[in-house]
Structure 1
Amino acid sequence: MNVAPPAGRPDRRRPGDSPEQLARWRLISLEKQLPTPRPLTGLGAPVVVGSILLALLAAFAFVHLDRVSPAGVPTAVTESQRQFVEGLARGLGNSVGRSRDELTELAADCNDRPGQARPLLSRFVDGHPMWRGVAVVDSTSRAPTAAVGQPVTLPPGLTPTRAALPLVDGNDPRLLLVEPLASGALLVGELDLGVRSLRLDPRSRQAILIAVPGVGRALAQGTPVEAGGPVEALLDRALTASAEEHTVTRSGIAGPAPTGDATAADPVAPLVTASVVGNLGFSVVSVVSAPVTVERVSREPLFTAAVLFVASLLVLLVTWLGLVRPVRRLLDHAKATASGNPVAGPLRTVNREANRIGAAFDTLATQRDGTKGVRRDERPGGVGATWWVIGATLVILASSGLIVANLAPAERELPGQVVRDAQNQASAVAASLSDTLDGGFAMLADTGRDHGKANTSGMRKVVDRLVDDNPRFRSVYLVSAGGDTVVGAGREPMRPAGPVPGESGVNLYDVQGRLPIVYAYYQLADGRALVAEYDVRHLSRLLDRMPGRVQVLDIDQRDILDTSGYLAFEAVTVEQVRSASAAALTGRPYAEVTELDGRRELLVATPVSLEGTTAQLEWTLVARRPVSDYALPNNALRKGSMLVLVVAVGIGLLLFSWHYFFQLRPLRNLAREAGALAEGKTNRVVSPRWHDDIGAVAVCLEVCRQAAVHGEQRLGGAARLRGVEGMNTVIMTKVPERRRRGG
């Protein structure tokens, strides 16, 4: 704003006639017109922030990498034991749930036909071998009125309600299930709690226990656990904690290996993992002698931290000397030129853009003095500002390369316990797949036997109930003897119309397509057949219970199911996978760490089923997982280093982007405008684009342009807009906030 003093009153704020005072007053006035950088918008903000982030990353790397591989049982062993025991508990819980449903159905049959309890019990035990004995017991006298199988005894004090009582006396774990009957009697069944056959490593002295907290435990498989030893306390702690945390792991003190296969240099520690089975009141416990990783001194944390810290100093040095300091010297040069102060020679810096803009200031000053056409520094030296920023970014990338070059070597082998656990997990997934297929066929067969003579209307209700009660089926339908669909439920059948092959069973429709067509079928007496197609997505979800890539291959080595993206019936070309699948189909277990696609992987293969209805499919389950995915000491160190590496590269990209968009581009644009002014094109206004040091240089350049065109009266202290003749420029006092608010 231009304000002139009243007539007759002198302007006390105007400078005197001395050139020094005039130049000083112009400089003060100019500085009040220049933009002031805000926080994080100054010229040195990016390099300071980047250097601080690199220093903080160095401290984080030293602390984080120093603790990723502590001494003790490797995390890979602990995780594999947790997954293994959780799988056992889940499978046992599902088995007990199915058995309880079977006993509930038996209770309903006994209520419907109370006089035929004995034949019903006999038929039930013959069809379900897991039941040791079933009896109908009088609730008052506790004496059995009908019993089949081994004697069943009610414990004293048991209330006559629906109950589940685990029995762990001796090495014969059992579960007592009680169902009340309408007559007031109790249907009692004793269920065998033995887990499926497992492959246990005798060198690790593994034991699988069924334990009831506060009551006792029973050995299901493996090496007996010594009573009163150090493992006893670990067992009690694990069982107590599992009641709240579901699955817990507790490890003991390391000591020498108990077998002759290992030496004292290979210490082991007892590892106890417990997982509760639903709300049934008992837990599955695994006890192993796990290998122990000894504490070691690693140079990776110190080396990584030192590299990053040196990189932060180099980035600060390069950017400060190549960009920040030259531009600030340019700003001082610009202020002096724009206020009419004498400049001691041309500007000489290591920055080419700063030198070019400084030369333009000198040229405009000579034009203002009346010597047009005279220019200084026709070819200013220095390195481009972009190259200085690129150099700082390359320092960060080079430090990242040093970190990569000194990464800890990847693990090539796995502890034996991890391999055994992977075998057992693969077997559990294969058994779950087999049970799903066999159970679906058994359900279809029971329905066919019970409703095989029903008419079309009755069969419609039957197939509707099958689809609604079984998520494993995508569709169920009845086909005629000629293969035409009579009635169906669920989604549209994928199997083409036609007669079913053979009598009954589970089959794979062998055709190239988007999805494999797996179906169960049961031939009825009148020539019709019940067909149930399995939901492939439901089957694939069963494979997700095991980490890594899990495939199901047929006898022709074609991919039937896969947890990774695949095409149905695509032939497997990896020779190791084909060999493992062929070996597993003969019944031999396969588990090996081998080279697959250029990296070390654990390859496990097991048959889906060697007996039962599903065996006719001749499927094998193949699981593969890279060794680098396991939480072993070197793997953990490499992953921690890669995390630090990614963050360092991110800081480098942030530093370059910040400089490029907010400093380099404005500086280069200003250098081009300064070059045009130096060539005599003074009719274009120079506008500041950013409120920072570069914007202040742009304001000074515009002042010099106006001074070169209109004379030195346009230097610092002059109004930027030409006022009325006779009006003088004054520096106004800032109005206090309270006065502005008061009007």
Structure 2
Amino acid sequence: MAASQPKRRHKVRRRADMSLLGGIRPPIAILASLLLLVAGVTAFSLGRVGKDPVPEAVLTSQQHFAEDGAIALRASLDESVTDLDRAAALFNAGEPVSPDAVLDKIGSVYQKWRGTAIIEIESGRLLAARGENLPLTVIDRGRLAEEGGLAPRMIRLENGETRLLSFGLLSWEGRPQQLLIASSSLKFPGISLGKFRAIAVVDSQGKVLSSDGILAPEQLLSDDLRKASERSKKQLDAFAEIAAEKAGEHPLKTKEPGSGGFLGVSGSLSGEVVNGERSVAGYAALAAPRPGESTVATGLGLTVVAMVGVAEDPTLTTDPVFGLIAAGVLLVIGGLAVALLLGAVQRPLLRLFLESRRLTRGDVRRPVTVPRFGEAARIGHALERLRLQLLDGPHDDADPAPARASRRFGTRAMLAVCAVLLLLWSAPMVLLLNRADDTAVIPQQLVNDQRERTDTLTDRVRRALNEGHADLVSVASLIGDRTAPEDMATVLERTAYEHLRYRSLYVLDADGRVLARAGEEPRHPAGEGPGTEAIALLNDEGKEPVIAGYAEVPGREGAAVVGEFRIDFLNSLLKRPGLGEVRIVDAERRVLGGNTGYRAFEGLPSRQIDALVEGTNQRVGLSPRPSSVLYRGDDGVQLAAAAPFVGGGAAKQLGWTVVSWRSASGLEIPEYTFQNRTVLAGLLGLTAAAACLGWLHIVVVRPLRELARQAEALADGDRRTVLYPRHHDEVGAVVRSLELIRQTLQEQRRRDGAAATPSPVGRN
């Protein structure tokens, strides 16, 4: 047996070399590296906050404003083309009428076109005209029969203004074909600009086709105002050229992946400083409402540019020294935590590893160096007792070993101390420091933008309802008193197919009977005739509001065409990035629609917002106007705006209001950016501490506690329990050494027992 020990010891050396892989060193080294990285991120990121001349939130707001303008312009142009095509198709489906009657009917239903005309295609003779004079000579009548010959096109008038010409074909049997022409301006429908904003439509070459918000210099009396107007126009032209160039890029290359929002190319620009104000602009190319689609308007290559002057704030709102101080404190605390781990956990464990390997090699003359506390001290005392047993041989089952180490303060407690140290830095960073709700300075431009964008959104919802009612009037005029029920259904189905805003379309007689319908089941109250209002809310409870438009059918004794609007259609109009939560409320301030989750006919979420809507609609002695406010309360800082339905059309009498609100904590202004980066630094510190200390607890501390128990049991005389290492690291190496010591003690015991047994020959 003695001859076999050198081989076993040689095997111990090979396994001891393998035990250095992994173990306690990587988590401590990675913790030190991560803390150093977090300190660098803290110093660098917090030191750069507040250095931009204009807050990023203001630039982003101008981008959203331009996107709103692009959406409104695209919808207006596409709606004009669609309405003209549908009007021509409806006239073609009926009896022939005179050109003057066609234009009069179109003019009474739609008030969107600057000029309309009808010419005879074969001769080019002008048959009728309304509104502004149209340049009919630019129309190539010979190409009308070709593919795309009726596609809308842009033209420039003699006064320099640009128009979009739309065409419709009027064709009746036995009559020469006629061309219906309508001109639309490139002005923005219902865009609320405020006092100091300019907005323009730009072509693909960067040339301004139309603009609003900048008065011509010759219209101003003051020399200073004329110079300011000239500078603004020059700056707008410069923005237009840059925006047109950027609009030619692919949308996926101009935005971050997964950012969502506007489907087209959009962005923001920063210009020169004039009289303490910096010119900033947002731009947005006309884009289709759904990905992968194209419309007439998107094919024109137009871009919207919105420009405004923003006053720069020279005062410093954030302290860059804070980042350096926080990084320095983290380095001190992190260094102390790492030093404790190195001195109280890693070094004692490595010493135990070397001492246990020494014992397995047979070097038992020198006492074991015992660590001071914790599991390492318990294991050290056990190794010393085992050394004595190897040196003197077993006496009984165990030896009177030195006193055991205390179990009160172990490696887990040391990890807890390190965790508390790191928590002392991370917790205040996350929860206490740089709270921005009390100190944040919200730029007035953001409050104004919230109001103007909400007003623009209100106008778009109102115009959408007015357009829907105009379609119903057009259908009712076509049906008249001559159409059979099956023909009515054909007209209704065609209208429902062309316009997805309707849930259902039907003709209702004076007694409440449905004569023809298309779409889903009508929800009009049974037995009741058509309502007297152009657009009405039919219910005040239930899961979904029922909004219906009525258009009387001429010659049918009180019958009307009824169109029920889809709530999803109205909700889709409210989806605008940067506005927060948006709601449509009725005159009693009950919610009818929204861009996020809501319950129909519920109240507004807070008394402040409810009071804002009430005050907006009940201004003493004044007409309702949009308003905005900045709230500071227990829930933080909040921007809110409300805009009532104003203007003409069938929807005005509804008395509805669009209200929006958003938390200021999501704005990219210096105070909130500073707060967010402070919280991020604290979270990074917590993550690094939790990951590395948790790693240490799983890989080192738990196996080390089990090893202490096994070592004490082995020193107490347990020779039967075989010891298996969990990991090939320092703890596992000590376990393997203990197993070899156990085997050696067993061999000694058998050897001593055999020597003490009397020989049978000697007894004889």
Which residues in structure 2 correspond to 1:86-165 (within 5 Å)? 86-105=67-86, 116-136=98-118, 144-154=126-136, 161-162=149-150, 163-165=152-154
Deviates further, 418-427 or 153-162:
153-162
Q: 1:519/1:630 Cα in 2 relative to 1: closer, same or farther (>3 Å)?
A: same
Partner of 2:299: helix, strand, or coil? Answer: coil
**Amino acid corresponding to residue 689 of structure 2 in structure 1:** G
Conserved? CA contact 2:122–2:177, under 8 Å: no
Asked if 1:73 is matched to 2:102, the reply is: no
Measure how far apart 1:126 and its partner are: 3.7
Looking at structure 2, the residues matched to 108 and 528 of structure 1 have their Cα atoms a distance apart, in angstroms, of: 23
Measure how far apart 1:103 and its partner are: 3.1
Q: 1:406/1:155 Cα in 2 relative to 1: closer, same or farther (>3 Å)?
A: farther
**Amino acid corresponding to residue 280 of structure 1 in structure 2:** L
Which residues in structure 2 correspond to 1:416-427 (within 5 Å)? 416-427=444-455
Looking at structure 2, the residues matched to 697 and 680 of structure 1 have their Cα atoms a distance apart, in angstroms, of: 18
Conserved? CA contact 1:478–1:529, under 8 Å: yes
Structure 2 match to 1:320: 342
Partner of 1:565: helix, strand, or coil? Answer: coil
Structure 2 match to 1:270: 279
**Amino acid corresponding to residue 125 of structure 1 in structure 2:** G
Asked if 1:353 is matched to 2:375, the reply is: yes
Of the candidates 10, 27, 38, which is equivalent to residue 57 of structure 1? 38
Measure how far apart 1:87 and its partner are: 0.8
Asked if 1:285 is matched to 2:305, the reply is: yes
Of the candidates 226, 230, 233, which is equivalent to residue 226 of structure 1? 230
Structure 1 match to 2:64: 83
Conserved? CA contact 2:550–2:561, under 8 Å: yes
Looking at structure 2, the residues matched to 327 and 500 of structure 1 have their Cα atoms a distance apart, in angstroms, of: 91
Structure 1 match to 2:669: 632
Cα displacement string for residues 1-51 of structure 1 (whole angstroms, at most 9, x for unaligned residues): x9x9xxxxxx9xx89xxxxxx7xx875542224472475x22111111121
Which residues in structure 2 correspond to 1:275-424 (within 5 Å)? 275-277=284-286, 278-294=298-314, 298-342=320-364, 344-345=366-367, 347-368=369-390, 369-371=393-395, 372-380=398-406, 383-404=409-430, 405-407=432-434, 409-410=436-437, 412-424=440-452
Q: 1:200/1:105 Cα in 2 relative to 1: closer, same or farther (>3 Å)?
A: closer
Conserved? CA contact 1:172–1:220, under 8 Å: no
Structure 2 match to 1:695: 732
Of the candidates 559, 562, 584, which is equivalent to residue 616 of structure 2? 584
Cα displacement string for residues 551-594 of structure 1 (whole angstroms, at most 9, x for unaligned residues): 22222222222333332222235221111111222413211111
* Percent pairwise identity: 25
Q: 1:317/1:198 Cα in 2 relative to 1: closer, same or farther (>3 Å)?
A: same
Structure 2 match to 1:209: 200
Structure 2 match to 1:552: 584
TM-score, normalised with respect to structure 2: 0.80
Measure how far apart 1:651 and its partner are: 1.5
Asked if 1:237 is matched to 2:237, the reply is: no
Which residues in structure 2 correspond to 1:411-560 (within 5 Å)? 412-451=440-479, 454-477=483-506, 483=512, 488-491=517-520, 497-499=526-528, 502-522=531-551, 525=556, 530-546=561-577, 547-560=579-592
How many residue pairs were aligned?
684
Cα displacement string for residues 690-731 of structure 1 (whole angstroms, at most 9, x for unaligned residues): 1111111111122222333331799xxxxxxxxxxxxxxxxx
Partner of 1:512: helix, strand, or coil? Answer: coil
Measure how far apart 1:272 and its partner are: 3.5
Q: RMSD between aligned alpha carbons?
A: 3.6
**Amino acid corresponding to residue 517 of structure 1 in structure 2:** V
Conserved? CA contact 2:135–2:157, under 8 Å: no
Looking at structure 1, the residues matched to 74 and 646 of structure 2 have their Cα atoms a distance apart, in angstroms, of: 21
Partner of 2:111: helix, strand, or coil? Answer: coil
Measure how far apart 1:534 and its partner are: 2.7
Asked if 1:563 is matched to 2:595, the reply is: yes
Q: 1:85/1:488 Cα in 2 relative to 1: closer, same or farther (>3 Å)?
A: same
Looking at structure 1, the residues matched to 704 and 440 of structure 2 have their Cα atoms a distance apart, in angstroms, of: 53
Q: 1:166/1:628 Cα in 2 relative to 1: closer, same or farther (>3 Å)?
A: farther
Q: 1:416/1:506 Cα in 2 relative to 1: closer, same or farther (>3 Å)?
A: same
Structure 1 match to 2:268: 249
**Amino acid corresponding to residue 353 of structure 2 in structure 1:** L
Looking at structure 2, the residues matched to 458 and 668 of structure 1 have their Cα atoms a distance apart, in angstroms, of: 88
Conserved? CA contact 2:364–2:387, under 8 Å: no
Conserved? CA contact 1:423–1:591, under 8 Å: yes
Measure how far apart 1:484 and its partner are: 6.4
Measure how far apart 1:672 and its partner are: 2.2
Cα displacement string for residues 396-440 of structure 1 (whole angstroms, at most 9, x for unaligned residues): 322213434443635634323222222221122222222333333
TM-score, normalised with respect to structure 1: 0.82
**Amino acid corresponding to residue 320 of structure 1 in structure 2:** L
Structure 2 match to 1:8: none
Structure 1 match to 2:184: 191
**Amino acid corresponding to residue 628 of structure 2 in structure 1:** A
Q: Unpaired runs of 5+ in structure 2?
A: 144-148, 217-228, 251-264, 287-297, 619-623, 752-764
Looking at structure 2, the residues matched to 494 and 299 of structure 1 have their Cα atoms a distance apart, in angstroms, of: 66
Partner of 1:279: helix, strand, or coil? Answer: helix
**Amino acid corresponding to residue 575 of structure 2 in structure 1:** D
**Amino acid corresponding to residue 437 of structure 1 in structure 2:** L
Looking at structure 2, the residues matched to 124 and 197 of structure 1 have their Cα atoms a distance apart, in angstroms, of: 22
Looking at structure 2, the residues matched to 184 and 475 of structure 1 have their Cα atoms a distance apart, in angstroms, of: 34
Cα displacement string for residues 355-402 of structure 1 (whole angstroms, at most 9, x for unaligned residues): 112222233344452233412223446731112222223333222134
Measure how far apart 1:131 and its partner are: 1.7
Looking at structure 2, the residues matched to 37 and 346 of structure 1 have their Cα atoms a distance apart, in angstroms, of: 20
Structure 1 match to 2:254: none
Conserved? CA contact 1:609–1:619, under 8 Å: no
Looking at structure 2, the residues matched to 134 and 487 of structure 1 have their Cα atoms a distance apart, in angstroms, of: 33
Measure how far apart 1:624 and its partner are: 0.5
**Amino acid corresponding to residue 209 of structure 1 in structure 2:** A
Looking at structure 2, the residues matched to 644 and 351 of structure 1 have their Cα atoms a distance apart, in angstroms, of: 34
Measure how far apart 1:236 and its partner are: 3.2
Partner of 1:254: helix, strand, or coil? Answer: strand
Looking at structure 2, the residues matched to 598 and 588 of structure 1 have their Cα atoms a distance apart, in angstroms, of: 27
Conserved? CA contact 1:559–1:570, under 8 Å: yes
Looking at structure 2, the residues matched to 337 and 592 of structure 1 have their Cα atoms a distance apart, in angstroms, of: 79
Cα displacement string for residues 495-547 of structure 1 (whole angstroms, at most 9, x for unaligned residues): 66452563353332434333333333456535665543332233222211243
Measure how far apart 1:548 and its partner are: 0.6
Structure 1 match to 2:762: none
Looking at structure 2, the residues matched to 455 and 354 of structure 1 have their Cα atoms a distance apart, in angstroms, of: 98
Of the candidates 26, 46, 54, which is equivalent to residue 45 of structure 1? 26
Conserved? CA contact 1:268–1:292, under 8 Å: yes
